[in-house]
Structure formats: structure tokens, C-alpha cells
Amino acid sequence: MAGFIGLVVLVGVAGFLSAVRCNPGCKGTDGHPGEAGSPGRDGLSGMKGEKGAPAVSVDGPGDQPVLLRLKGDRGSPGVVGPMGPKGFRGHVGASGLPGEPGPLGQHGRNIGAGQSVSQQEAQFSSFSVIRNDSTYPPFKKISFQSVVVNNPGDFNMTGGTFVCRIPGVYYFTFHSVAKVSMCLSLVADSADDKLTFCDYNSNRIYEHMLSGGAVLKLAANNKVWLESFQDEQSASDTQDIRDKYIIFNGFLLFSNPE
Ligand SMILES: *[C@@H]1O[C@H](CO)[C@@H](O)[C@H](O)[C@H]1NC(C)=O
Ligand SMILES: *[C@@H]1O[C@H](CO)[C@@H](O)[C@H](O)[C@H]1NC(C)=O
């Protein structure tokens, strides 16, 4: 509006100036209309408006229709969080029901006839023989006077020798009781070394016991016997005639499967 007023004033002044230079009565032709002026400047900013009502009241959810109008769209789901700690162990449950019976096994195969009772008895071999002679045993193979057991008879009393009939593994053991020193060896013709055992009885008053034994693997006709041998015994030992007692035992542990 102010710009428009300014334009009217300028036009009025221009018309006055042209009228001053002209004589009274002269009359020129009308001038051309002036060109349109340039646009005016922007007007001033208006006053600040009043503050609007709060969207949500501080002390409550506010007006439900207002909230619904203000509510935004549902966001996208968040990422899965980290796994939580392991829980407590649970109680052991009750036993389950028995399972179904398994399928039948394969048919067995024949691995040969079983042994008769008489054949099984033939696999036994055992003996226990005693020398009760009070003289000192001479330094050689020992002979025995009485038999406790000799079943089925593999110990030859005449020769004082066990003769292997059933190849297998045997256990032999002996004990002697005397008031003098004793040295005895277990001898097997299949072995290179004699197994020697000595007991030195220095007081010659009380009875001492000497023991020895071994497990031996024997083939048929191998022989095993007991020998007395000279070590450091004195004449007082070998000339003693008080009671002496030697027991010699042997039995088959198991026969070879050959
Ligand atoms: C040894 O034993 C045999 C048979 O039992 C017996 O006849 C003999 O008298 C005994 N000898 C001694 C010295 O005890
Ligand atoms: C027992 O041994 C003696 C002497 O070595 C021998 O003459 C005899 O034939 C043997 N007896 C048996 C049944 O082998």
C-alpha cells in the first residue's frame, strides 16, 4: 500500500513540472503512460502466535482420542538380545518303562563234541609224598616213604620222581622241618637251572621249616624231583639223627590245549 502511494506522488510531481515549462494556453499531446514500476519490498513479519495446548499432559495419559491421533506408527521389531544364564538343575524324572525284547540271535555253530566225564577226570594230576626218615637226606635225589595222595599215580615212588603224563602247567611245592640246616633244590629235567633253597639253623635246638616251590610248564615225560645238596652245612648237621620231615607236593594247574 505504501509503495502504491509513493508511485501516485511521483506521477503527480512529474505532471506539475511539465506544466511549469508550458505557456498558458498551449496544449501538447498527452504523454505516453509510464512503465510499470518494479515490485515493492516484502512486508514486515507478523506477530508470534499463542502457544498451543500440550500433546500429552504431564500427570497422566491425557485425552485418549488426542493420544490416538498423536500416536505414531508401529516400529520394526528390535534385534534378539543375548542368551540368558543357565537355569537350575531340574529333578530326576521317574524311570521309564522297560524296552521291547531284542531280536533273536544267530544260530550257534558246532565246535566239536564235549568231553565225557572220564576224559575230564584224566586231566587231573596230583601228589603229596612224605620223607619221614630221621637220617640227614644224602646229597642226591630224595626218596619218600609214604604217600598222602598220588592220583592218578604220576609220582613214581620207586624212583622218587614225578613223570609228566599230561602236558601242561604244574605247581610244585615242598616243606621240610628239622633242627639242623637244610638245603633242598627243586629239579626239572626240562629246566637248565635247579631251584635251590637253604635254611641255616645255627642253634640246632629248635625246629626250622624250609619251603620252596615253583610253577613249571612241562611236556609229556618231563621229570621233576627234589634233591638234597651240599652248601655250607657242617658235620653236625649231616650227622644229626633227630626227627626230620620233608613233604613234596605237585598238581596240574591246567593242561595245554594242544
Ligand atoms: C615213616 O612212615 C612209615 C609209613 O607211615 C612208617 O612205617 C615208618 O615207621 C615211619 N618212620 C619214622 C622214622 O617215623
Ligand atoms: C619207576 O621208576 C623206576 C626207577 O626209575 C622204574 O624202574 C620204574 O619202571 C618206574 N615205574 C613206572 C610205573 O614207570
Tens-place pLDDT, residues 205-226 = 999 999 999 999 999 999 999 9
Q: Is the whole model's pTM more than 0.85, yes or no?
A: no
Residues of the chain above pLDDT 90, percent:
49
* pLDDT confidence tier of residue 150, bands split at 50, 70 and 90: very high
Q: How far is the CA of 159 from the centre of ligand 2 (A)?
A: 6
Domain span at residue 157 reads: 128-255
**Gap between the Cα atoms of 182 and 233, Å rounded:** 8
Q: Which residues line ligand 2 (CB under 6 A)?
A: 156, 158-159
Best residue for ligand 1 mutational test, from 146, 147, 157 (most atoms within 8 Å of Cβ): 146
Rounded to an integer, the average pLDDT of 35-56 is: 79
Going from the Cα of 145 to the center of ligand 1, the distance in angstroms, rounded, reads: 7
CATH of the domain at 153: 2.60.120.40
Q: How is residue 62 written as a grid cell?
A: 491425557
The pLDDT, as a whole number, for residue 106 is 83
Taking alpha carbons only, the member of 210, 216, 218 closest to residue 131 is 210
Ligand nearest to the CA of 223: 2
Contact 132 CB / ligand 1 (< 6 Å): yes
Residue closest via CA to ligand 2's atom 4 equals: 159
In a domain? residue 191:
yes
Percentage of the chain exceeding pLDDT 70 = 78
User: Does some domain include residue 159?
Assistant: yes
Position 82 in a domain: no
Please say whether the dihedral angle defined by the alpha carbons of residues 106, 111, 115 and 120, taken in this order, is positive or negative.
negative
Question: Has residue 52 been placed in a domain?
Answer: no
What per-residue confidence (pLDDT) applies to 1?
A: 45
Whether 44 shows a pLDDT value over 60: the answer reads yes
- Separation of CA 72 and ligand 1 centre (Å): 123
> For residue 35, is it within any domain?
no
pLDDT band at 67 (very low <50, low <70, confident <90, very high): low
Which residue's entry shows cell 635246638?
205
Residue 199 within a domain = yes
Given pLDDT bands bounded at 50, 70 and 90, which one contains residue 43? confident
Which amino acid makes up residue 30? D
Q: What is the mean pLDDT of residues 76-105?
A: 87
Does the residue 109 lie in any domain? no
Q: Which of 132, 146, 150 to mutate to test the pocket of ligand 1 (most atoms within 8 A of CB)?
A: 132
CA of 160 to the centre of ligand 2 (A): 9
Which of 172 and 108 is assigned the larger pLDDT? Answer: 172
Query: What number is the average pLDDT over the span 56-60?
Result: 57
- Please give the pLDDT value at position 120: 52
Q: Which ligand is nearest to the CA of 133?
A: 1
Higher pLDDT, residue 163 or 12: 163
Distance (angstroms) between ligand 1 centre and the Cα of 134 equals: 10
What is the mean predicted confidence (pLDDT) over 106-131?
74
Under 8 Å CB-to-CB from 204, ≥6 apart: which residues?
A: 179, 180, 236, 237, 240
Question: Which residue has better confidence, 13 or 107?
Answer: 107
Q: How many domains does the chain have?
A: 1
pLDDT per residue as tens digits for the range 229-254: 999 999 999 999 999 999 999 999 99
Query: Quick check: is 174 in a domain?
Result: yes
* 116 vs 153: which has the higher pLDDT: 153
Q: Tell me if 134 CB under 6 Å of ligand 1.
A: yes
